[in-house]
Amino acid sequence: MQLSQSVVLVTGANRGIGRVFVAELLKRGVSKIYVAARDTTSLKALLKDGDRRLVPLPLDVTDPDQVAAAAVIASDVTLLINNAGYAAFEGAISASGIDLAREEMEVNYFGTLALTRAFAPVLASNGGGALLNMLSMLSLISLPVAATYSASKAASLSLTRSVRAELGAQGTQVVGVLAVQTETEMGAKLPEPRMTPQEVVTDALDAIQAGTNDEIVAGDQSRGIHAAFTADPKGLQAKMSTRLPQRA
């Protein structure tokens, strides 16, 4: 799809990759961006320049009422970017409990599912549009120091593929973005390599504009890891499995 004059909703727009998505979308000529965050006061820096194309939207992706309200308020959206994410950085067994693992699933999987379900009819009514889900290379490879986060991202990859099949009939383009960790607050807690958020965002939006309807691997470092995974998935998983968490 063409981004020029499109209407976009970006979840988790207040920080990290979300903020870079907003900046790049403005450069590419979109007509409006709903910048969504749990706490809209966290959007102050993003809104300080007074660009009228930016519309703050209070949105907790785990809150059904806020999700439903967002679909009504942002009924002109043609591109939904599911970027909001949460990582506990815990092992599956070494963690003190499973509450944070549940939160990861609530945000990364159920939040993405809820937003996608709410906006599927919106996209259909606006000509099909596009959906972009921020995934992770950990959708493919489990990292024990972030075991439950890896599981939530694997679930999100499976969801993305199913949604692509279901929304094909209404002409909705569905892109899943696989990337290694970036130089953000969240990514800093994971082992290297790290990329700049700009690398990820550029490749992701290029894929949207090119009409890609598949997963993409964003950034050179991600492509290197993906190549190693493709060549020897068990070997790479064995290497990643040496990164063990400390017991709580």
Enumerate domains of the chain plus CATH numbers. 7-87+101-137+148-221 (3.40.50.720)
Which of 196, 200, 159 lies closest to 179, judged by CA?
200
Distances (CA, A) of 27 to 98, 177, 210: 42, 20, 17
SS3 for 126? Answer: coil
Whether residue 86 contacts residue 108, with contact meaning beta carbons closer than 8 Å, is answered with yes
Residue type, 118: A
Half-sphere exposure of 183 toward its Cβ, with a 13 Å CA cutoff? 8
Q: Mean pLDDT by 10-residue block, N- to C-terminus, for the chain (248 residues)? A: 97 96 98 97 93 97 98 99 95 95 98 99 98 96 94 98 99 98 69 82 98 97 93 94 77
Determine if the pTM surpasses 0.85.
Answer: yes
Q: What is the DSSP letter of 124?
A: H
**Residue 223 burial by Cβ neighbours in a 10 Å radius (0-12, 13-18, 19+):** middle
pLDDT at residue number 195: 86
What is the C-alpha separation between 229 and 215, in angstroms, rounded?
15
Whether residue 66 contacts residue 53, with contact meaning beta carbons closer than 8 Å, is answered with no
